[in-house]
Structure 1
């Protein structure tokens, strides 16, 4: 398949890959038992990078060694492994079919590989014969196409080397390329930026994603990998990680995503410096604080609810008094107070709770109160779940609405499902704010998706 080079994609200019690409003189790969394991990871800002890296970090901790990331694009993985530039690759590769150049590890995630086209959607595989399909070279998506090629030899596609699936999805949304293939999680995340993005059909059987090793792999390291995955599958760690990193990707509907992006462009610039000031005082990312404020008031400093909570961060009278707020409708006062209150809630949680669960649990307390969060944590323990994990606590929090359950808990009835929606939506808006800069927002929405803003 020929390589498509003249594609307008945001490429990470500072990647050290250029040096590795030539595979010239490099230091010999030291044995991982010497205290450091070199792991191939996808480029920064890839949709899958946070999950891939966290999983690799857990494995490094399992081995008792330090993780050294090597950022490469999928097409570089095979050569890098076979030239001993890394101990293994944590880039999710399709393990469904045998690969002569790679040895796959234990599959950890199954994802559907879906076709996305600009303009007229492709409804079935035969229609792709008249379309131009572009995918990332060496990716799970190209492997899925190769698997389909056996039954449909007329199938044709082009590849691009230095890109991520998210880049190609954006290019499709902007009409720069015709069609691409991406997995369901990548599409769910990018649809928040491009509400009209439509996936039509699966190109092949769902990809079983796995780590990859050179065929002459270290047998002991491979055995440790098998032990590691057996453990995290048995104790529920893997499920919690998948929920943590992917469970919130499609929590908002297209209209809400469009409204959010419009207000990011038109409203957020007025208040961003206030969120940044609050971040410098609390140590909480400004994007997270802005995401909380959007969920609470849509960045309307005059917002008031029927329950008498008011302002940008929708503070109750009690919280405002506690944080010494004189005017809840003053945007800066509200942002500073709400941010300090969130910081206080984080500090009240047990020290053993790590990030990001500490933040997600604190957000639930911000929405429903610390007492109701503690009730939900107790309920999680009753069900044999981990009370320190948001992925587990959110499973039981809606039960606080059940009168039979509520009467067995100290703080009684609560609309627990609202806290779950609150946290998951804040997580998604936080991710969106992190991903794109202000200058990129104008091109994300077609003109007819611009939302008319209320005049305050």
Structure 2
């Protein structure tokens, strides 16, 4: 390990810094207010590194004090002068004076991204003719300087007063042709910038780490390393990475470009109706919006060949039962659809609980409650648990097979459809949750700004070619 090679500072004994933190009963952390690090969400503070910081403070048995008023180039200097530690998507760099870094937390792979429509860059040589940007103080700028030593004609722009979303906005708008960011940052933000494509990776991965002031002893650093090793071995670190940075493969289900386009252009007209219906029926409004998108792509005039109509695609009998006299009226359709989904959930057996109950109610919205019960019966016959969605979803497609549907009360059904239906709604809901919790930091989708709007804050310094 890196720290095993570091001598104890003569200024303080190994455990003194840790003892100071324990005695004062709080740990001071220098960080940045960004969607991938720390920000105020609707339920309070959140973010990938905030989760780690909070858990580390709990591990120490102290309170957490954050200073988030820094840009990327200021954090390390603040750690040297003020804080107990820094946690702000910092690359591990032992060459930094006055600092000690923790063990690696996760890899940071530099990546070239570019604006859709230009010739895709495939090598460093392709970047020479492009307007390229990056963020200073994040490690990607260091990577560019190392590359310039081998490719002196390379030039780029870098900024120390903007964050990843602003940088990607510059690419999407055409101010930049390409940017160098970290792969995980782009994985999260790509949902909100479908105009930006991933190109090629640059060099070997760096490592995200925490920074501590040198000369304070190694007690706090060692305790941080023990904590990080524990959450890695327990699987907690991987779960947090998945929660905050998502999975690339779900984009294939979502149709990200179309979805984001409709979220900008259509959803704002109906968002308040979804919120009202959600409050009245005890749902998350984003879930109802996701159901509406799966049903009609938020088209209030939608009509299917089977006669279901409107934004929530209600059948005529169901609309009558719900008191909906105009299925093409968005307000009636949304409120009716919410009441119908709630009624389906309430009619399910009490033995079905939690998310399983919600997913089965959504499946019933698509295929009907009777067919869902048939699939539960098949699940029992096959030795599965009829109260668990994972088991029931395996049985639903069997309603299309004669040897199975002949045994059921309600007969044949296109049982594969509700499986895809629930899966898609969950994916749409994921995307809307990212947008909602970002507090408009990722993309101007929530602010209803023009698609070509670019944040006004942030400036670049030009790094010229080497003469």
TM range (shorter): 0.5 to 0.7
Q: Who wins on radius of gyration, i.e. which is larger?
A: 2
Return the offset for 1:176.
1.3
In structure 1, the partner of 2:80 is 82
Q: Which stretch of the first structure deviates more once superposed, 233-242 or 124-133? A: 124-133
1:115 aligns with 2:112: yes
Describe the superposition over 1:170-229 as per-residue Cα deviations: whole angstroms up to 9, x where unpaired: 101111134321122332344333333222221221232222222345633323322222
Q: Which runs of 5+ in 1 are unaligned?
A: 1-29, 388-392, 408-412, 446-456
Match of 1:425 in 2: 428
Q: In the comparison of the two structures, how many residue pairs are matched?
A: 392
Mapped to 1, the partners of 2:199 and 2:321 lie a distance apart of 52
The answer to whether 1:60 aligns with 2:63 is: no
Q: How does 1:339-418 map to 2 (within 5 A)?
A: 339=338, 364-368=359-363, 416=419
- Please say which of residues 72-81 and 193-202 is displaced more in the overlay: 193-202
Q: Relative to 1, partners in 2 of residues 1:274 and 1:81: Cα closer, same or farther, differing over 3 Å?
A: same
Please give the alpha-carbon distance, in whole angstroms, between the structure 2 residues aligned to 1:61 and 1:67.
8
Question: In 1, Cα distance between the equivalents of 2:394 and 2:95?
Answer: 46
RMSD: 4.7
Q: Which runs of 5+ in 2 are unaligned?
A: 1-19, 40-46, 399-403, 405-414, 455-467
Aligned residues of 1:192 and 1:254 also touching (Cα < 8 A): no
Secondary structure at the residue paired with 1:68? strand
State the TM-score, normalizing by the size of structure 1: 0.68
Match of 1:224 in 2: 223
Q: 1:180 to 1:305 in 2, by over 3 A?
A: same
SS at match of 1:61: helix
Task: Name the residue aligned to 2:10.
Answer: none
Quick check: 2:254–2:424 contact (8 Å CA) kept in 1?
A: no
Q: Contact between 2:188 and 2:246, CA under 8 Å: does it hold in 1?
A: no
The match for 1:36 among 26, 30, 35 is 26
> What is the CA distance between 1:310 and its match in structure 2?
6.0
User: Closer, same or farther in 2 for the Cα pair 1:195/1:106, shift >3 Å?
Assistant: same
Is 2:128 the partner of 1:134? no
Q: Map 1:165-314 onto structure 2 (within 5 A).
A: 165-216=164-215, 219-248=218-247, 251-252=250-251, 256-281=255-280, 286-303=285-302, 311-313=310-312
Alignment check: 8 A CA contact 1:320 1:328 kept: yes
User: What is the aligned partner in structure 1 of residue 48 from structure 2?
Assistant: 51
Q: CA deviation at 1:280?
A: 4.6
Contact in 2 for aligned 1:46/1:166 (Cα 8 Å): no
**Matched residues in 1 for 2:57 and 2:322: separation?**
42
Q: C-alpha separation between the residues in 1 aligned to 2:307 and 2:318?
A: 12
CA contact (8 A) 1:107 1:208 kept: yes
| C-alpha distance in 2 between matches for 1:93 and 1:397 | 44
**Cα distance, 1:247–1:189 mapped onto 2, change above 3 Å:** closer
CA drift at 1:428: 1.1
The reply on whether 1:100 has 2:110 as its aligned counterpart is: no
Rounded Cα–Cα distance in structure 2 between residues aligned with 1:97 and 1:343:
56
> 2-side partners of 1:319 and 1:301: how far apart?
17
CA contact (8 A) 2:93 2:101 kept: no
Change (3 A) 1:97 1:79: closer
The answer to which of 239-248 and 435-444 deviates more is: 435-444
- Contact 1:144-1:207 within 8 A present in 2 as well: no
TM-score (norm: length of structure 2): 0.66
Shift of 1:427: 0.7
